[in-house]
Amino acid sequence: MIESPQFPPLLSGQAVPKQTDPFDKAVSQAIAGVDSGTIFYSEAGDILRAALVLAPETPLEEAIQAVYVAQIGLAESLGALAPPEVPVFFQWPNRIKVNGAVCGGVRYAADVSDPKAHPSWLVIGIDVPFIPAGDEPGKNPNETCLLEEGCGDVQPMALLESWSKHTLLWLTYFMDSGFERVHNEWRPRCDTLGKMIEQPRPGIFVGLDEKGRMLLRQDVMTETVSLIEFAEHT
């Protein structure tokens, strides 16, 4: 295992005790004014938990699109470290799927909920299980872990390093080019586009609009559903 993960320029890391949730720590430190680009992480070996603090310069409805950036960063990291035959997809709004089953996902929170308001901070975290959570592997076929999907050689700190690098790269693309490039990368990795879904509510998942909101068709009506609805409350 990599004892001290190396982070790319503009990002820095702070390890937290194993009993501490890095996401909660990141939120509390964001409120206290910690530097943007700080990643809080746990060194536990059974699951990767990490959270990145950002200081957006745009309204929340635009800043929240960075959640897709974090998903792409995680998918690219798994693509780089896992066996090449392991498919990685997204389940809107915040789940990661490996070989068709949910394998962790992304969490996020901000200090505002109004789409037009400018957040002082945005925290985006990842949770990726490496080994089965219970005593019965495979008990829930809709959920999995990296070990069960042939990714036993992937180490949590190596995945954290890779996620930080890929996420920073895509944050740069996002800030330079806007959401379109992120959307074009995210879309092929979502395996429920054009299909009937039950969550967050029943309908056909048509796609994303220019603000990154879900387009959900119910009979003749199409509504938009924002990632903001699924942010964690602090």
Its pTM stands at: 0.95
**pLDDT of res. 127:** 97
pLDDT (tens digit per residue) in 48-62: 999 999 999 999 999
pLDDT (tens digit per residue) in 25-34: 999 999 999 9
Burial 90-111, CB ≥16 within 10 A → b, else e: bbbbbbbbbeebebbbbbbbbb
Check if the beta carbon of residue 92 is closer than 8 Å to that of residue 214: yes
pLDDT (tens digit per residue) in 197-209: 998 899 999 999 9
Question: Cα-flanking dihedrals φ and ψ of residue 58, to 5°?
Answer: -130, 165
Q: Which of 189, 184, 162 is nearest to 173 (CA)?
A: 184
**pLDDT of res. 134:** 67
**pLDDT of res. 138:** 58
Low-confidence ranges of the chain (pLDDT < 70): 1-3, 134-139, 234
Indicate the domain borders of the chain. 12-191
Looking at domain 12-191, its CATH superfamily turns out to be: Bira Bifunctional Protein; Domain 2 (3.30.930.10)
**pLDDT of res. 190:** 96
Strand order in the sheet with 88-91: 12-16, 38-42, 47-54, 122-129, 101-110, 95-98, 88-91
Long-range contacts of 25-30 (CB under 8 A, 24+ apart): 25/51, 26/51, 26/52, 26/53, 26/123, 26/125, 27/51, 27/109, 27/123, 27/234, 29/53, 30/111, 30/120, 30/121, 30/123
**pLDDT of res. 133:** 77
Check if the beta carbon of residue 184 is closer than 8 Å to that of residue 72: no
**pLDDT of res. 18:** 87
**pLDDT of res. 137:** 58
Output DSSP code: residue 145. -
CA distance 185 to 91: 14
